[in-house]
Homo-oligomer: A and B are copies of this chain.
Amino acid sequence: MERGMMKRQYRDVVVWDAERTAAERCDVITEGDRITSILPAGTLDSGCAYEGRGKMALIPGFVNAHGHAAMTLLRGLGEELPLMEWLQERIWPVENGLDGDLVKAGTKLAILEMLSTGTTCFADMYFFMDRVAEAALECGMRCGLSRGIVGDSDGSKLKENLKLADDFNGRDGLINVQLGPHAPYTVPMELMKEIANTAKDTGLGVQLHWLETSSEWSISGLEGKMTPEDYLAETGMIDVPNLLLAHCVWIRPQESAFYARDNVTFAHNPKSNLKLGSGIAPLPAYLKAGVRVALGTDGAASNNRLDIWDELRFAALTQKGVNKDPTLVASAEALRMATVNGAIGLGFRDVGLIKEGYRADMILIDLDQPHYVGWDCENLSGFLVYAGSSSDVKGTVVAGKMLYQDGDFVFADRKRITEEAAEARRKLTAR
């Protein structure tokens, strides 16, 4: 252990993660950015530790596996419009006014919201990504970042994405950089092949929008020429080191098995898919086939919260109702999606579990509240997913540091960030 490395102790907390069938009261020690010891509850002396009194859950922080953080600045613009009208008349014109400073301001606003709702790591595909990286590093937040690549006839965006990797991949142990081809209908097939080859050469992961709307495949001009699965095979995308496919609403259920591979993760965005009228993903088929599925919020303009508790609840409940089967998408499965699955999808293989040697990305949840009456170590995951909410989060720890505690941001100036974002919003929407 490095000398002077920060050590923190959590005493008598109720530990749960996706590898446990039941929760367990434990003492947990972190040193630097790692979890180093998990001991029986009460082993540690009181006084020198955060005290959970058996009424504070400690679970892995949530991973928001798909989003566009700076879109917090576009929240609420053009609600309830048909998709193309919304994009063409309300979103794109405003997005065109974004610059690096505005993107950084919007990203910091997003980080406030994510930290306070228990998210410790987020995926981002947008532009001015160096400024997104700055924002994340300044706040101490973990993330997987990609430069959204659209068109790109001169290759400048792919170059920018590779520069992002050169500059920020692995920085402070917090950032993984992915390549970000936007979607099959916005990226020419030859470029998609080039990006897949680049990913294989560099070892970088890929973030890709995948079959979000029912018309997407026909818009891409590929319908009738090849299946989506053939396309992934032919471009080489299916073989890149780490492929994170966002949305996945319109994969044919019978093709699910094709995607059940260790290098592939789906980012399921239930609320965004509902709000935009995109549809409802056949999630039970994916899970049954063994696909690794994570959860994401998408951007705040189409959600409109960056709150994984909402996604947990929508993922778990919607499928039960649509399929008229209350046994589908159990709470523990939803929590697995929201934690370790998203971490793997972003290339963090040591994030998302409360386990010795894993990164100390964790949240503290206050169980001493009216809506938790009746919880026990066997039923905790159900109470969290069905009865809990983001306001139960009393602490958010990223890489061993408590970044949010009891309503306060430890390394971020809430007032200043909020005011700067409000000013950015005014600028953007005044144009």
Q: Taking beta carbons and an 8 Å cutoff, which residues of A are in contact with B?
A: 72-77, 79-83, 86, 109, 112-113, 116, 214, 271, 273-280, 300, 303-307, 310, 313-314, 317-318, 320-328, 330-331, 368-371, 373-375, 379, 382-383, 386-387, 389-391, 414, 417-418, 421-422, 425, 429
Distance to closest chain B CB from A183 (angstroms): 19
In the complex, the answer to whether B386 meets A76 with C-beta atoms within 8 Å is yes
Q: Do the beta carbons of A318 and B418 come within 8 Å of each other? A: no
Please, how many angstroms separate the alpha-carbon atoms of A58 and B138 in the complex? 36
Known contacts A82-B326, A113-B371, A370-B417; 8 further A-B pairs (Cβ under 8 A): A76-B382, A76-B386, A80-B382, A81-B326, A112-B370, A274-B321, A276-B320, A370-B418
Cα distance, A81 to B331, chains bound together (Å): 12
Q: Can you report 30 A-B residue pairs in the complex whose CB atoms are below 8 A from each other?
A: A72-B371, A72-B373, A75-B371, A76-B374, A76-B375, A77-B374, A79-B330, A79-B379, A80-B327, A81-B327, A82-B326, A83-B326, A214-B324, A271-B317, A274-B317, A274-B322, A277-B320, A277-B325, A277-B326, A279-B324, A303-B386, A314-B314, A314-B317, A318-B318, A322-B322, A368-B418, A370-B418, A373-B422, A373-B425, A389-B389
Shortest A141–chain B CB gap in Å is 14
Closest CB in chain B relative to A78 CB, distance in Å: 9
Q: Are A278 and B370 in contact (CB under 8 A)?
A: no
Report the Cα distance A341→B310, complex, angstroms.
25
In Å, the complex CA distance between A390 and B370 comes to 14
Chain B, residue nearest A274 (CB): B321
- Tell me if A321 and B279 are in contact (CB < 8 A): yes
In the complex, the answer to whether B75 meets A374 with C-beta atoms within 8 Å is yes
By a CB distance below 8 angstroms, the chain B residues around A276 are 320, 326
